[in-house]
């Protein structure tokens, strides 16, 4: 497949201020490995510990019956992220600028959402990254024998995780972030996929899981795997990372699609690997694990019992890589989105430094993700904040799908890059799927009062 952008494509180049990759239309294309970048960030950021647990539990309860839903989820994310990126490349505007064209109501939703989301997610992400460290330390030689180290509470490691994440993205060096995320994804791939290989899956049963069916009591798990795995607000960050990469015109459309597809194929492999582990290691033996992040620590213990301590250590490293990649991706990508939103609210023009990576508002949101959530780590999560988080968060994915449906059929997009009937149908189905999931999450949030 030729990954070079088509020189006949519309080459309108807005002023972004980003350092561009070499334009392949003017000569030899860059090496293929350089074409993989922003998609890997959005996929790795979106696959956190919670997603791995949800898939693991589904595998432990239903075996391979929901494998097809995991594959469908990958396809759904490819379409959604491609739509957000196509808007940015075709128009030269960020996704938030697109939302503004749909009316002020989008800002009234997005503003409170990104603040509440960041407050709660910051604590969740830091805790998820600290949990495998706390479980891993007693298993390490020498370090595991030092009592003072093994007694360090989870909260201390959570705070350190937030501080390290903030420091790594503070200056806004995109290339450095891309390299770190690539290393973490490599670690995730070796450990998570390795765990699946070690369990010696029955390939015949794996293939039967590709036949669409919903087992009894599995509807919500089906919807969650198909629609919930692989990120929420971070999907919309993809367009901003494209700009930082230097892919900022329609000439990069085909490269973007290759990048996006390959990234979500990789994320699909992670999800399928966890489903295999759940089906082979837990379902067949009737073993239950926790349905929160502790479930991955439980799985590490099962792996230790079955295959030895070394396997548990390897898996906990993969658990940490999955969680910490989400910290870095969110601390960077969602901070850029906030800077764009708040800069627009302050009536700063597009391309202004403070509306982008490394600016004042970008750094403010990094601090917002890092320090206020530490209060939640100390005091627990106030019910009112959790309900607000659930209400606002449950409707972000249908919000994204529906707004993309309107934007990609609007006069703001050149005719060449508008949706056809097939894409409209897909986005319509996706919007309906996420609306059902959103209503269910809303009910759960209210029921938890």
More confident residue, 367 or 209: 367
Over residues 266-280, mean pLDDT: 87
What pLDDT was estimated at residue 244? 92
More confident residue, 276 or 437: 276
More confident residue, 353 or 15: 353
Give me 61's structure tokens: 């309860």
Does residue 91 have a pLDDT over 90? yes
Does residue 152 have a pLDDT over 50? yes
What pLDDT was estimated at residue 392? 63
The answer to whether residues 84 and 400 touch, using CB atoms and an 8 Å cutoff, is: yes
- Output phi, psi for 183, to 5 deg: -65, -40
Question: What's the mean pLDDT when you consider all of the chain?
Answer: 83
What letter does residue 170 receive in the DSSP assignment? T
Q: Give the separation between CA 250 and CA 7, rounded to whole angstroms.
A: 9
Does residue 340 have a pLDDT over 90? yes
Q: Indicate the domain borders of the chain.
A: 41-133+160-447
What pLDDT was estimated at residue 240? 95
Of 1.10.287, 1.20.1740, 1.10.101, 1.10.3470, the CATH number of 41-133+160-447 is 1.20.1740
Does residue 13 have a pLDDT over 50? no
What pLDDT was estimated at residue 227? 64
Does residue 4 have a pLDDT over 80? no
Does residue 371 have a pLDDT over 50? yes
What pLDDT was estimated at residue 268? 86
Q: How far is CA 323 from the centre of its chain?
A: 10
What pLDDT was estimated at residue 377? 81
Lowest mean pLDDT among 17-26, 52-61, 282-291, 420-429: 17-26
More confident residue, 394 or 116: 116
Does residue 324 have a pLDDT over 70? yes
What Å distances lie between residue 354 and 306, 339, 350, 362, CA to CA?
53, 7, 10, 7
Map residue 97 onto helix, strand or coil: helix
Query: Cβ atoms within 10 A of the Cβ of 204, count?
Result: 8
Q: Give the separation between CA 373 and CA 161, rounded to whole angstroms.
A: 12
Quick one: pLDDT band at residue 77, thresholds 50, 70, 90? confident
What pLDDT was estimated at residue 36? 60
Q: Give the separation between CA 231 and CA 42, rounded to whole angstroms.
A: 8
The proportion of the chain whose per-residue pLDDT surpasses 70, expressed as a percent, equals 85
Q: What is the 3-state secondary structure (H, E, C) of 79-145?
A: HHHHHHHHHHHHHCCCHHHHHHCCCCHHHHHHHHHHHHHHHHHHHHHHHHHHHHHHHHHHHCCCHHH
User: Which of these, 139, 130, 165, lies nearest to 49 by C-alpha position?
Assistant: 130
Compute the radius of gyration of the chain from its Cα atoms.
21
Q: Give the separation between CA 48 and CA 55, rounded to whole angstroms.
A: 11
Q: Give the separation between CA 229 and CA 224, rounded to whole angstroms.
A: 7
Quick one: pLDDT band at residue 28, thresholds 50, 70, 90? very low
What Å distances lie between residue 247 and 30, 188, 238, 244, CA to CA?
13, 27, 11, 8
Give me 308's structure tokens: 């030895």
Over residues 415-434, mean pLDDT: 89
Does residue 379 have a pLDDT over 80? no
pTM: 0.86
Quick one: pLDDT band at residue 375, thresholds 50, 70, 90? confident
Quick one: pLDDT band at residue 75, thresholds 50, 70, 90? confident
More confident residue, 51 or 83: 83
Q: Give the separation between CA 212 and CA 380, rounded to whole angstroms.
A: 40
What letter does residue 417 receive in the DSSP assignment? G
Query: Which H or E element spans position 426?
Result: helix 421-447
| pLDDT tens, position by position, 93-128 | 999 999 999 999 999 999 998 998 898 889 888 988
Does residue 17 have a pLDDT over 50? no
Lowest mean pLDDT among 50-54, 117-121, 154-158, 388-392: 388-392
| pLDDT tens, position by position, 158-189 | 999 999 999 999 998 899 999 999 999 999 98
What pLDDT was estimated at residue 325? 93
Does residue 328 have a pLDDT over 90? yes
Does residue 89 have a pLDDT over 90? yes
Over residues 353-369, mean pLDDT: 96
Q: How far is CA 111 from the centre of its chain?
A: 20
What pLDDT was estimated at residue 8? 38
Over residues 256-279, mean pLDDT: 89
Over residues 202-228, mean pLDDT: 80
User: Which of these, 210, 218, 203, 280, lies nearest to 62 by C-alpha position?
Assistant: 218
Over residues 323-338, mean pLDDT: 94
Over residues 57-86, mean pLDDT: 89
């Amino acid at each position: 497949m030729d990954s070079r952008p088509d020189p006949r494509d519309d080459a309108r180049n807005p002023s972004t201020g980003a350092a561009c990759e070499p334009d392949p239309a003017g000569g030899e294309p860059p090496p293929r490995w350089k074409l993989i970048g922003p998609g890997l960030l959005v996929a790795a950021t979106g696959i956190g510990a919670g997603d791995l647990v949800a898939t693991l539990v589904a595998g432990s309860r239903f075996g391979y019956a929901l494998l097809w839903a995991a594959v469908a989820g990958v396809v759904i994310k490819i379409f959604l992220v491609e739509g957000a990126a196509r808007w940015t490349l075709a128009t030269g505007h960020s996704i938030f600028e697109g939302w503004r064209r749909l009316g002020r109501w989008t800002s009234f939703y997005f503003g409170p959402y990104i603040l509440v989301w960041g407050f709660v997610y910051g604590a969740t992400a830091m805790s998820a990254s600290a949990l495998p460290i706390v479980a891993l330390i007693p298993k390490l030689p020498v370090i595991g024998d030092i009592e003072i180290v093994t007694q360090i509470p989870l909260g201390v490691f959570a705070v350190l995780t937030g501080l390290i994440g903030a420091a790594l993205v503070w200056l806004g060096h995109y290339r450095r972030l891309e390299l770190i995320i690539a290393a973490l994804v490599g670690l995730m791939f070796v450990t998570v996929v390795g765990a699946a290989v070690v369990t010696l899956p029955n390939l015949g049963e794996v293939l039967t899981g590709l036949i669409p069916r919903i087992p009894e009591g599995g509807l919500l798990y089906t919807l969650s795997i198909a629609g919930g795995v692989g990120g929420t607000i971070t999907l919309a960050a993809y367009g901003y990372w494209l700009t930082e990469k230097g892919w900022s015109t329609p000439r990069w459309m085909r490269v973007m699609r290759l990048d996006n597809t390959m990234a979500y194929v990789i994320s699909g492999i992670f999800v399928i690997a966890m489903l295999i582990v759940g089906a082979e290691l837990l379902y067949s033996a009737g073993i239950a694990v926790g349905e929160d992040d502790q479930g991955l620590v439980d799985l590490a213990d099962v792996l230790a019992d079955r295959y030895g301590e070394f396997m548990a250590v390897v898996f906990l490293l993969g658990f940490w890589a999955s969680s910490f990649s989400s910290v870095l991706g969110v601390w960077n990508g969602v901070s850029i989105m906030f800077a764009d939103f708040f800069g627009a609210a302050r009536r700063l023009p597009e391309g202004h430094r403070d509306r982008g990576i490394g600016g004042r508002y970008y750094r403010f949101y990094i601090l917002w993700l890092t320090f206020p959530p530490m209060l939640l780590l100390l005091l627990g999560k106030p019910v009112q904040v959790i309900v607000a988080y659930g209400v606002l968060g449950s409707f972000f994915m249908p919000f994204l799908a529906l707004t993309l449906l309107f934007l990609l059929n609007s006069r703001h997009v050149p005719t060449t890059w508008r949706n056809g009937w097939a894409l409209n149908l897909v986005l319509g189905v996706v919007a309906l799927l996420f609306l059902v999931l959103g209503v269910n999450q809303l009910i759960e949030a209210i029921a938890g009062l």
